Amino acid sequence: MTAATLVRPASPPAGPLSSPGSLSSPGPLSSPGPLSPLQQAQIESHQGLVRSIALKVAVKLPVAVELDDLIGYGQIGLMQAARGFNPAAGVQFATYAYYRIRGSIYDGIGKMAWFSGARTADLRADRAANELLRQRAERRPDAEDADAGEPAGAPAPESDAAWLGTTGRSLTAVFLLSQSAARGGRRSDPVDPGVGPADAADAAEFFARLRTLVDELPRDAASLIHDVYFEGRSLKDAGARIGISRGWASRLHAQALARLGREIRRTLA
């Protein structure tokens, strides 16, 4: 699995994080207004970024996909980035747009009929990792690291080392969840028929424990993780199933991964 280089941005102001499980369903979105001259300029000046990301994604795909289709998906993400960018947040537009563009391309790929099964495990991991990194880049560490199911305002580390540690553990959870999904979500049987009996037994025990950890998450978090990793749903669709917006689904996803990352570390210790 490959992921974008981890860069911790300056921390924008953020209020306390409410528990997503307590949120009511979001109201209907209003129609976006026309683009401002600055937004139009940002879109025009970042066309090369869209094409570059589309090319990098295209070479990973197990089937041939028209590059223009990937670029089209990326353009949607770029437009969303231009509309949602806040210069006061302390993140450069190119960084903000990168994850939006890449995520939009993966969302488009996820709707294609072939995007299922073990052969797309790495792509699923890439898509989930991109979403995690986008969410981590756009929010303060102390706001998003509040655990799924833990009270808001719980102390959280703010140092660069702590930020990187939490992100690294969360990415480990992304990879292992994707590998578990590639095995069909089974709690037994070896990861690879070529491994020895002892290693196969250890792997089966670990993945059984991983599924138990997912089941032990708060209800909404467990449902979201199951839908994203084992059912192949997008964060938007998975969030809609539990009555929350895509933005809140992204935050809940990051919180659940942080918790799973810590539990995986304890399991392997």
DSSP 28-83: PPPPP-PPPHHHHHHHHHTHHHHHHHHHHHHTT-SS---HHHHHHHHHHHHHHHHH
Contacting residues for 64 by C-beta, under 8 A, at least 6 apart: none
Quote the pLDDT of residue 23. 30
pLDDT at position 144: 43
Sign of the alpha-carbon dihedral angle for 127, 131, 137, 143: negative
Asked if 173 and 207 count as a contact pair (C-beta separation under 8 A), the reply is no
Which DSSP symbol is given to 228?
I
CATH number of 33-115: 1.10.1740.10
* Integer Cα distance of 99 and 126 in angstroms: 11
Q: Are 267 and 202 in contact (CB under 8 A)?
A: no
Q: With DSSP H G I counted as helix, E B as strand and the rest as coil, what are the percentages for the chain, rounded to 5?
A: 65, 0, 35
| pLDDT at site 238 | 92
Where exactly are the structural domains of the chain?
A: 33-115, 120-269
Q: Please name the helix (run of DSSP H) or strand (run of DSSP E) that holds residue 134, with its range, or none.
A: helix 121-138
Instruction: Tell me the whole-structure pTM to 2 decimals.
Output: 0.57
Question: Taking a C-beta distance cutoff of 8 angstroms, is the pair 253, 235 a contact?
Answer: yes
Distance between CA atoms of residues 214 and 191, nearest Å: 19
In order along the chain (269 residues), what is the average pLDDT of each group of 10 residues?
42 36 36 81 93 88 81 92 87 89 85 59 76 73 44 48 81 85 54 55 80 93 92 87 91 92 85
Model pLDDT, residue 52: 93
pLDDT given for residue 203 in this prediction: 73
Looking at residue 139, what is its pLDDT? 59
Residue 156's pLDDT is: 47
pLDDT value at position 216? 94
Query: To which residue do tokens 């660069």 refer?
Result: 160
Cα-Cα-Cα-Cα dihedral of 6, 10, 12, 18, to 10°? 40
pLDDT in the model for residue 200: 61
User: What does each C-alpha distance from 19 to 16, 51, 137, 256 come to in angstroms?
Assistant: 10, 37, 20, 12
The pair of three-digit structure tokens given for residue 4, joined into one six-digit string:
């974008």
Q: What angle do CA 99, 102, 105 make, to 5 degrees?
A: 145
DSSP state of 148: T
DSSP annotation of 104 reads H
* pLDDT recorded at residue 41: 92
> Do 224 and 252 contact (CB within 8 A), yes or no?
yes
Q: Determine the pLDDT at residue 19.
A: 39
For residues 76 and 250, what is the distance between their CA atoms, to the nearest angstrom? Answer: 18
